[in-house]
């Protein structure tokens, strides 16, 4: 085996491979919930705290030609709030680290802060930015840490059991349609992104763009699902098919999804990401309002996810290390 084969670059590896390389260098976690779920759960003196972090980088995660400062602030809050909700927790605080080029206008920074505040007010009232860090960088980057509190045990990815039903709260596929629209309609002849003009867009196209640039995940339904007895739950950030696979593998079961429950464009719903819906499993008869049943949990068979009882032939989901080239396009 050559040195290159035994020591691949991050561009040659998957996100899961990179995480395994990092985590194998640490002792087993002593946290109530450690690496492998949507967020960690730390047992502190005052009670458990749920914590998560997510990074948005100019290029693979957003384009300034397409996202305003307000859009970026909103989305950076929303994606983190969804991870807290996916544990059945209530978000209470954000910590924001912002690395900016020196020529960034202060008006952009103010708009970003307005977007952060508006997303918190709309999606998780009472949650606010409580601290963070500023630095200079050639690439605009935001890293947001979200903290939340629990009123009961955390809902993990690993609790689904055969006989449960699979349910979804929130959109599936809308953000992917918005991203496709951006790449299809708002690039010049050499592929460079150009500013978004909505005047000639249909109402459906505007809705898809909003789902991509300012997602509205159902944050309040996270604790609702926990109180209703959800057995497993996670945020659908990387595509329904990929994230359902992660939940199925963590629980040691198979999720059999119903195509007709995913709407008229089931393939986009399965493959698309960034809607930040909540995917959960419940005992039969225990699905709360706001969730819709999209499948059932069966004993583990060959594939972790089936669609109408059969393996799904298409590829779905977003892995930043596997999909980086398309993100640059």
**Does 260 appear as a known binding residue?**
no
pLDDT band at residue 325 under the 50/70/90 scheme: very low
What is the predicted pLDDT for the residue at 50? 94
- Asked whether residue 2 carries a pLDDT value surpassing 70, the answer given is no
For 38-149, CATH number?
Answer: 3.30.1330.10
Contact by Cβ (8 Å): 228, 287: yes
**Does 61 appear as a known binding residue?**
yes
**Does 275 appear as a known binding residue?**
no
**Does 265 appear as a known binding residue?**
no
Which of 163, 154, 104, 164 shows the shortest CA–CA distance to 134? 104
What is the predicted pLDDT for the residue at 5? 63
**Does 157 appear as a known binding residue?**
yes
**Does 235 appear as a known binding residue?**
yes
User: What would the mean pLDDT of 69-82 be, rounded to a whole number?
Assistant: 96
Average predicted confidence (pLDDT) for the chain: 89
**Does 110 appear as a known binding residue?**
no
User: What would the mean pLDDT of 80-102 be, rounded to a whole number?
Assistant: 94
SS (H, E, C) 174-229: HHHHHHHHHHHHCECCCCCECCCCCCCCCHHHHHHHHHHHCCCCCCCHHHHHHHHC
- Asked whether residue 33 carries a pLDDT value surpassing 80, the answer given is yes
Of 17-26, 122-131, 183-192, 291-300, the one with minimum mean pLDDT is 17-26
What is the predicted pLDDT for the residue at 327? 44
pLDDT band at residue 313 under the 50/70/90 scheme: confident
Beta strand pairing call for 128-136 and 90-100? parallel
- Asked whether residue 21 carries a pLDDT value surpassing 90, the answer given is no
Look up the CATH architecture of domain 157-328.
Answer: Alpha-Beta Complex (3.90)
**Does 323 appear as a known binding residue?**
no
**Does 274 appear as a known binding residue?**
yes
**Does 298 appear as a known binding residue?**
no
What is the predicted pLDDT for the residue at 114? 93
**Does 83 appear as a known binding residue?**
yes
Map out the domains of the chain as residue ranges.
38-149, 157-328
- Asked whether residue 291 carries a pLDDT value surpassing 70, the answer given is yes
What is the predicted pLDDT for the residue at 174? 94
């Amino acid at each position: 085996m050559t040195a290159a084969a035994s020591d691949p670059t991050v561009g040659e590896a998957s996100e899961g491979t990179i995480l395994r390389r990092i985590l194998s260098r640490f002792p087993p976690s002593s946290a109530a919930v450690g690496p492998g779920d949507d967020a960690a759960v730390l047992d502190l003196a005052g009670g458990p705290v749920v914590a998560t972090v997510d990074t948005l980088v100019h290029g693979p995660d957003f384009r300034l030609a397409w996202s305003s400062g307000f859009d970026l602030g909103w989305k950076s809050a929303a994606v983190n709030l969804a991870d807290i909700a996916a544990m059945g927790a209530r978000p209470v605080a954000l910590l924001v680290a912002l690395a900016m080029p020196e020529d960034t206008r202060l008006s952009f920074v103010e708009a970003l802060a307005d977007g952060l505040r508006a997303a918190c007010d709309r999606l998780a009232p009472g949650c606010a930015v409580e601290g963070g860090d500023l630095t200079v960088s050639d690439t605009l980057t935001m890293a947001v840490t979200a903290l939340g509190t629990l009123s009961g045990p955390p809902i993990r990815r690993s609790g689904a059991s055969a006989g449960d039903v699979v349910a979804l709260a929130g959109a599936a596929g809308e953000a992917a349609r918005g991203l496709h629209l951006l790449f299809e309609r708002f690039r010049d002849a050499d592929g460079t992104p150009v500013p978004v003009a909505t005047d000639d867009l249909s109402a459906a196209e505007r809705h898809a763009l909003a789902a991509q640039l300012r997602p509205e995940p159902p944050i309040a339904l996270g604790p609702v699902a926990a109180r209703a007895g959800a057995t497993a739950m996670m945020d659908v950030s990387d595509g329904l098919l990929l994230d359902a696979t992660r939940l199925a593998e963590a629980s040691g079961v198979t999720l059999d999804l119903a195509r007709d429950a995913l709407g008229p464009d089931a393939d986009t719903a399965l493959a698309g990401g960034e809607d930040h819906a909540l995917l959960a499993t419940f005992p039969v008869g225990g699905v709360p309002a706001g969730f819709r049943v999209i499948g059932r949990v069966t004993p583990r068979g060959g594939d972790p996810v089936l669609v109408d009882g059969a393996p799904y032939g298409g590829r779905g989901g977003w892995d930043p290390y596997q999909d980086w080239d398309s993100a640059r396009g």
